[in-house]
């Protein structure tokens, strides 16, 4: 038991590397926040565009959403990070992480919002247009609020899953939580920094998981 | 444009890398079978624990699902692969991936099962019991089939995520599809093998993604 504590909870190592891991938390939080804002905005924009039901834009939106839902983000990260410099586009690791995760989140968000739009009853659209609002304003004032409410629980779950993927940044040299702690692990020769990273992730994501569960239970309750 | 094609769609390099990637894809498929089956079975038990009337069963399993949904799978993987050897437990990359993803996937599948089990009306349990079936028999023959049918789209979309996750195994040098492609990339200084790997994933997963959308639309209608 002592050996276990010594290996995974060594207080000296903890004290020494906690600042690095906390700095990593800052990086994780900033990238996660940027991904959430950009991904949801793009996804919502695309879903609205899709609501106009124009054939050609919709074809591209559907292809985009399908492809980015089917591809593992790590594949895209490696392509952007290692492939793009040779065509003259050099992006930093955090930029690559931001772009790939935002595009992935946007693809899922588009599908989720679109499902929300599709489940708004036809009568609502007709009623909006009958009052003289026009299509765009019916979309914004009538359909959108209902779609967003329906989209919330699956969207929160998806946001959680994708912001967790900021850990992939450790594969391309972004000094977020995981890479700060693996570096510390190899310097200290102790597994304690890995424990620190687990604690750091739990501190950030546990509240989100609990929030997601609460949100789901609340909507499930209302349905009855 | 030529540079672009040469860097990302170099057919000669793709052709050369193809056998290596095919081998990697085979490893990816083996991984998928292992982690999907374990996740589906483990998740069911965790879900049943989640819904148990006994508090000492329910709470630990709820904490289990929340903790493993909060931790990024890559963190779990690194912890198991490079942390456990410090405690004298050495695991192969394959075993590390299977353990890490069992913990992660069983929590995600558990949430899906839980939603499904809740959606089955209580009368179904009572009707099954009244025909003389035991709890376990009622679960297997009456409740579970309906629960699974109700959450089939979510089960499927979760499975797509699991397949995508197997690409993380490349980080600990397990020679699956992405690792093989990245090896070929670093040898040829060309990103075409990575694009080829992306095409492999698309061929494997696009039909499933379409199917998920199809189910969701049918369910919404």
Is pLDDT of A186 > 60? yes
Kindly determine whether residue B3 and residue A87, on different chains, have CB atoms separated by under 8 Å.
yes
Domain hosting residue B165, numbered range = 35-173
Which residues of chain B does A83 touch, with a Cβ-Cβ cutoff of 8 Å? 7-8, 185, 191, 194-195
Q: Does domain A2-223 have CATH number 1.10.3720.10?
A: yes
B206 lies in some domain: no
Supply the pLDDT for residue B7: 87
**Burial call A190-201: b when 16+ CB within 10 Å, e when fewer:** bbbbbbbbbebb
B217 lies in some domain: no
User: Helix, strand, coil proportions of chain A in percent (round to 5)?
Assistant: 90, 0, 10
Which residues of chain B does A183 touch, with a Cβ-Cβ cutoff of 8 Å? none
B211 lies in some domain: no
- Nearest Cα of chain A lies from the Cα of B65 at a distance, in angstroms, of 10
Q: What is the ipTM of this complex?
A: 0.90
Q: Which residue is listed with tokens 């659209």?
A: A125
Looking at chain A, which residue has its C-alpha nearest residue B6?
A: A87
Is pLDDT of A224 > 50? no
Our count of domains for chain B comes to 1
- How many Cβ atoms are within 10 Å of B43's Cβ, its own excluded? 24
Q: Are B96 and B81 in contact (CB under 8 A)?
A: yes
Domains of chain A, by residue range, sit at 2-223
- Report the alpha-carbon distance of residue B175 to residue B167 in Å, rounded: 10
B188 lies in some domain: no
Q: Which of A72, A86, A201 sits opposite B70 (nearest CB)?
A: A201
| pLDDT tens-digit profile, chain B (221 residues) | 788 888 899 999 999 999 999 999 999 999 999 999 999 999 999 999 999 999 999 999 999 999 999 999 999 999 999 999 888 888 999 999 999 999 999 999 999 999 999 999 889 999 999 999 998 899 999 999 999 999 999 999 999 999 999 999 999 999 999 999 999 999 999 999 999 999 999 999 999 999 988 887 776 65
Find residues 153-212 of chain B whose CB sits inside 8 Å of chain A.
160-161, 164-168, 170-171, 178, 181-182, 185, 189-191, 194-195, 197-198, 201-202, 205-206, 208-210
Q: What is the CATH number of the domain that holds B164?
A: 1.10.3720.10
Is pLDDT of A153 > 90? no
- Nearest Cα of chain B lies from the Cα of A192 at a distance, in angstroms, of 8
The predicted-structure confidence for A101-121, as pLDDT tens digits, reads as follows: 999 999 999 999 999 998 888
Supply the pLDDT for residue B61: 95
The predicted-structure confidence for B90-143, as pLDDT tens digits, reads as follows: 899 999 999 999 999 999 999 999 999 999 988 999 999 999 999 889 999 999
Which residues of chain A does B220 touch, with a Cβ-Cβ cutoff of 8 Å? 115, 118-119
Q: Are A167 and B74 in contact (CB under 8 A)?
A: yes
Which residues of chain A does B79 touch, with a Cβ-Cβ cutoff of 8 Å? 194, 197-198
């Amino acid at each position: 038991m002592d050996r276990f504590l010594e290996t995974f909870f060594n207080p000296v190592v903890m004290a020494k590397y906690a600042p690095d891991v906390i700095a990593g938390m800052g990086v994780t939080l900033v990238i996660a926040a940027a991904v959430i804002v950009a991904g949801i905005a793009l996804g919502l924009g695309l879903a609205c565009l899709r609501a106009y039901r124009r054939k050609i834009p919709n074809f591209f939106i559907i292809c985009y959403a399908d492809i980015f839902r089917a591809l593992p983000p790590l594949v895209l990260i490696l392509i952007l990070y290692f492939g793009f410099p040779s065509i003259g586009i050099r992006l930093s690791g955090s930029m690559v992480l931001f772009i790939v995760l935002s595009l992935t989140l946007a693809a899922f968000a588009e599908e989720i919002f679109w499902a929300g739009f599709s489940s708004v009853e036809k009568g609502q659209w007709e009623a909006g247009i009958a009052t003289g609002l026009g299509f765009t304003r019916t979309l914004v004032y009538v359909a959108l609020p209902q779609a967003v409410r329906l989209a919330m629980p699956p969207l929160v779950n998806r946001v959680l899953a994708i912001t967790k993927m900021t850990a992939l940044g450790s594969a391309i040299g972004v000094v977020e939580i995981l890479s700060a702690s693996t570096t510390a692990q190899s310097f200290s020769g102790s597994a304690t920094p890995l424990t620190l990273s687990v604690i750091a992730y739990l501190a950030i994501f546990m509240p989100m998981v609990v929030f997601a569960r609460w949100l789901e239970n609340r909507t499930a309750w209302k349905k009855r | 444009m030529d540079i672009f094609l040469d860097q990302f769609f170099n057919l000669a390099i793709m052709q050369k890398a193809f056998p290596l990637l095919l081998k990697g894809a085979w490893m990816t498929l083996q991984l998928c079978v292992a982690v999907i089956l374990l996740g589906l079975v483990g998740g069911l038990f965790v879900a049943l624990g989640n819904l148990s009337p006994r508090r000492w069963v329910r709470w630990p399993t709820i904490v289990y699902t929340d903790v493993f949904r909060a931790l990024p799978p890559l963190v779990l993987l690194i912890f198991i692969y490079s942390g456990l050897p410090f405690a004298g437990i050495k695991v192969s990359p394959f075993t590390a991936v299977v353990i890490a993803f069992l913990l992660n996937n069983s929590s995600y599948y558990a949430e899906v099962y839980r939603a499904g089990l809740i959606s089955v009306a209580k009368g179904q349990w009572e009707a099954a019991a009244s025909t003389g079936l035991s709890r376990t028999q009622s679960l297997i023959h009456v409740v579970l089939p309906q629960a699974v049918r109700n959450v089939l789209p979510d089960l499927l979309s979760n499975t797509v995520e699991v397949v995508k996750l197997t690409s993380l195994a490349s980080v600990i040098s397990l020679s699956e599809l992405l690792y093989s492609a990245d090896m070929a990339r670093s040898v040829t200084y060309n990103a075409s093998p990575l694009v080829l790997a992306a095409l492999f994933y698309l061929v494997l997963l696009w039909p499933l993604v379409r199917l998920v959308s199809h189910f969701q639309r049918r369910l919404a209608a």
